Amino acid sequence: MKPMVVGTRGSKLALIQTEQVVRELKAQYPSSEFRIRTVRTSGDKSSEAPLKSLGLGVFVKELEEALIRKEIDMAVHSLKDLTPELPKTLTIGAVCQRQDPRDVLINKWNRDLADLPLGARIGTSSPRRTAQLKAQRPDLKILPVRGNVETRIRKARSEDYDGVLLAAIGVTRLGLQDQIAQYLSTAEFIPAPGQGALAVEIRQEDEDMTSITMVLDHAPTRTAVTAERAFLQRLGDGCQEPSAAYAEVNGESIVMHAFMASQDGQHVFTTKAVGVSSNPHQIAMEAHQQLIEKGAHILLSSD
């Protein structure tokens, strides 16, 4: 059998993640050969441009195109980078068991968010993080920041910034957890859908890859992220405001924390919905409806 080609971004973190997936595949299929191929995405090429200006799927589009052209057999992504709607011919072959989903605060004083000095300059290019930061600490100055994890941590201690917000999983996978001042609770600081989980994307019609990647799939994580992604789909393209949902599965039950907010963090609507894990789409619908009833409809009004 010819080697299976596993596509990934070329960053240090992406390669660590992909090597982890390949190790697990080799453990299941010791006689098979897997080759890693790096693909440069538009998000990597435009490392200083604001993410919002680059459009959706900036870290996955070129990998998906390589999959469609059959240049690679599977692609490993941070699940939060995937768009709510995949290209028609592609599917998620496996959702790996979720690791730490939280956001973390890194700053030059090594303080918690509540203890930062007035007007501290915190770097993030995420509208989701910006809105939640402004809601909790309206005095903070939020500055855009790009670059890989190591670069952003370095900027947190530079002259231009006092700190940054990052995903915990990226920091810990790089062995830099000693830099973390605070892990932010998922109930109070809701992470991006899919944060902390890896997705292995394949072609829908590729039965071999469907069978091979299936061994990596973690059912509770898949259920949780399916609910989170369904929440995003319910918002649709009409909602440009910050939003997120985080779900946890415990046996037959599923709990979802979700929020919608204005860009300035002045209007923040949060909810907690409980449902059955057998119907992740239902919990997404209920969380969305609860937010609308709490007043989040004001964020959806057309221009």
Q: Which residues are catalytic?
A: 81
Which residue reads 């900027």 in tokens? 155
With contact defined as beta carbons under 8 Å apart, do 63 and 39 qualify? yes
16 to each of 20, 102, 133, 184, how far by Cα in Å?
A: 6, 19, 29, 24
Taking alpha carbons only, the member of 94, 216, 91, 109 closest to residue 156 is 109
Beta strands in the chain (DSSP E): 4-8, 34-38, 74-78, 90-95, 103-107, 121-123, 141-143, 163-167, 182-184, 198-203, 243-250, 253-261, 268-276
Taking alpha carbons only, the member of 238, 232, 240, 249 closest to residue 285 is 232
CA 89 to chain centroid, in Å, comes to 22
* Buried-exposed string 13-48: b where 16+ CB fall within 10 A, e elsewhere: bbeebbeebbeebeeeeeeeebebbebebebbeeee
Taking alpha carbons only, the member of 179, 197, 12, 158 closest to residue 104 is 179
Residue 33 CA to residue 216 CA, distance in Å, equals 17
Which residue reads 């061994």 in tokens? 215
Question: Which secondary structure element, helix H or strand E, spans residue 285, and what is its range?
Answer: helix 280-293
Supply 36's token pair: 């890693």
